[in-house]
């Protein structure tokens, strides 16, 4: 077990958020925090608990007709001189890496586990709590994906709620995300005799012009408006200050609406860069994770929207709701963090958002629905 201070699910949500933030857990180094979460959940006494790598799973087994899955990732992006946490009482902001994305949400889930995961608790639904690793990196490392492969039964339920940052709003579905690499080749030469070479960096000019002129599509699904985006996110090339480069590469990221599947997204990107490929560039898709439709017509999702009392909006980003949707499980994003602050040096969460998020979930989880079992 780790040397981190014990986590207390009975502590108030602000105290618990600070404790989580003060436990560094950059992607790939979540083990110590996962140890602390596991110990806290086992100590409650009313949960079945299992560890899968650095993912921690816990659930009630009360024989209730419906089950709700509550999930959050434990990892953060690299720390930017913003751990430990800092509370600004004047502005009511808690600063720190992961405050918004998504340790405030994890704290809410731990609070719910502390309330409903003890002997004698009677929620309206059986509950599953999932804390997982490696969400902020490439999909192949994602801890929830590992759980889906090795312990899929743990993810089944009538509704999944991911405590991703949504600023206290319900964000339905999610966009898909595709990354591709465009590569050009040329011929090296001395830059004083450039006409003897072929400049691979210049060979990317057409693709860059295509991106600059690209106009993203907007689509409305179930009353949620998704805006797509295709952007350069990286470029490389060059040998030395006096050499015409013979290799160059451009990395692009396509965020696509959930009415496209992975194949349709790849086909679109290949169509956009058809001229560049025809001119000699090669295009390789390096990562492609499909999105999730809003699914708001599903009874469990509709009941949750009604319980929160606010309309749902589109999730502009990829989240693991897509994994649940692939299993046919309705899933939504709902958490106290602000998505616009995620991954920033000044990342923070408004303290006033924490308790209302917990209260809304308590209200939903103590209100029976008329659903049939999953």
**Catalytically active residues, by annotation:** 75, 135
Can you say whether the dihedral through the CA atoms of 358, 360, 361, 362 is positive or negative?
positive
Instruction: Please say whether the beta carbons of 159 and 69 come within 8 A.
Output: yes
Task: Give the span between the Cα atoms of 147 and 151, in whole angstroms.
Answer: 5
Instruction: Please say whether the beta carbons of 106 and 349 come within 8 A.
Output: no
Instruction: Please say whether the beta carbons of 243 and 191 come within 8 A.
Output: yes
Closest CA to 256 of 222, 279, 282, 289: 289
């Amino acid at each position: 077990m780790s040397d981190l201070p014990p986590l207390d699910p009975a502590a108030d949500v602000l105290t618990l958020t600070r404790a989580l933030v003060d436990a560094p857990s950059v992607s790939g180094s979540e083990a110590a925090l996962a140890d602390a979460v596991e110990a806290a959940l086992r100590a409650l006494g009313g949960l079945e608990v299992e560890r899968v790598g650095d993912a921690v799973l816990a659930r009630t087994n009360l024989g209730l007709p419906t089950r709700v899955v509550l999930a959050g990732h434990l990892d953060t992006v690299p720390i930017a001189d913003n751990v430990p946490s800092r509370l600004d009482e004047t502005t009511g902001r808690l600063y720190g890496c992961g405050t918004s994305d998504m340790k405030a949400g994890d704290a809410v889930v731990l609070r719910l586990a502390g309330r409903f995961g003890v002997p004698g608790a009677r929620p309206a639904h059986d509950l599953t709590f999932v804390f997982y690793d490696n969400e902020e990196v490439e999909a192949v490392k994602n801890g929830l994906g590992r759980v889906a492969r090795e312990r899929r039964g743990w993810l089944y339920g009538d509704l999944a709620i991911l405590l991703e940052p949504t600023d206290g709003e319900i964000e339905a579905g999610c966009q898909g995300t595709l990354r591709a690499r465009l590569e050009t080749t040329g011929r090296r030469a001395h830059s004083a005799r450039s006409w003897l070479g072929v400049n691979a960096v210049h060979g990317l000019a057409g693709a860059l012009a295509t991106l600059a002129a690209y106009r993203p599509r907007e689509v409305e699904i179930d009353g949620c408006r998704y805006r797509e985006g295709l952007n350069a996110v990286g470029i490389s090339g060059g040998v030395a200050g006096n050499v015409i480069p013979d290799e160059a590469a451009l990395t692009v990221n396509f965020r696509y609406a959930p009415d496209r599947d992975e194949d349709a997204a790849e086909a679109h990107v290949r169509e956009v860069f058809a001229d560049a490929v025809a001119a000699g560039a090669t295009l390789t898709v390096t990562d492609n994770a499909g999105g999730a439709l809003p699914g708001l017509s599903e009874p469990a999702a509709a009941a949750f929207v009604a319980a929160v009392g606010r309309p749902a909006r589109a999730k502009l980003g990829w989240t693991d709701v897509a994994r649940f949707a692939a299993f046919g499980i309705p899933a939504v994003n709902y958490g106290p963090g602000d998505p616009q602050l995620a991954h920033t040096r000044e990342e923070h969460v408004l303290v006033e958002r924490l308790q209302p998020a917990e209260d809304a979930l308590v209200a939903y989880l103590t209100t029976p629905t008329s659903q049939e079992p999953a």
